[in-house]
Chain A
Amino acid sequence: GAGVSQSPSNKVTEKGKDVELRCDPISGHTALYWYRQSLGQGLEFLIYFQGNSAPDKSGLPSDRFSAERTGGSVSTLTIQRTQQEDSAVYLCASSLPGQGYRESYNEQFFGPGTRLTVL
């Protein structure tokens, strides 16, 4: 079946411009996450959506970052007034609802990422 898809795969923008990154999760996955990964670094949590609950925005680095998830499916991460330090790979992941001890139930499926370069 189809995995998590993200678009665009690459985005080059000028400092100060706004960008929108899109994520299409796996059908039926109610949980959706955005992470940021700088070159050679780990995964920095940004935001988490779970069903109709209020999103966990605790990882957003500044108010220039926002995300929405429409209809419980597609999500868009928006970065306003981009800065050079925003350059990174933005990864989206989705998962099924958690069931505690069930094997692999909380497994996160990652998309290929969007490589953002701010000049």
Chain B
Amino acid sequence: GQQVMQIPQYQHVQEGEDFTTYCNSSTTLSNIQWYKQRPGGHPVFLIQLVKSGEVKKQKRLTFQFGEAKKNSSLHITATQTTDVGTYFCAGSVIQGAQKLVFGQGTRLTINP
């Protein structure tokens, strides 16, 4: 079945350093979504990417969708303590499909 792999599993950085998490799918994706889960909280939607090679930015966060639509990345520039949490990617195989396959997440911790 479809698998979505996410690396690294954990990342610890100093405040102000950059952070990147990578997501790879075994199959071509229709779209990919990113979620953030704060410690003790529930996942919250960040963004959806649909087009091959798409790049979207939200302030210090940059999201990319690969040309082959099988991989994606989230890059945070100059991390802040508020960025702490676990970042999940989630992919949909079928266009317009609701069911998502989630990656295992990357837990980001930050040393202030």
Contacts and interface: CB of A to CB of B under 8 A. Distances in A.
Contacts of A91: 42-43
B45 A108 contact: yes
Interface residues of A, number: 30
B99 A42 contact: no
A112 B42 contact: yes
A22 to B, nearest CB: 16
Q: Which of A33, A35, A41, A108 has the most B CB atoms < 10 Å from its CB?
A: A108
Interface string A33-53: 101000011110100101000
B95 interface: yes
Contacts of B48: 103-107
A54 to B, nearest CB: 13
Contacts of A109: 45
Given A43-B88, A106-B92, A107-B45, A48 B33 contact: no
B97 A42 contact: no
A98 interface: yes
A98 B97 contact: yes
A41 B26 CA distance: 20
B85 interface: no
B44 interface: yes
Given A42-B102, A42-B104, A91-B42, 9 more contacts: A35-B102, A42-B6, A45-B100, A50-B98, A100-B95, A105-B48, A106-B92, A106-B97, A113-B42
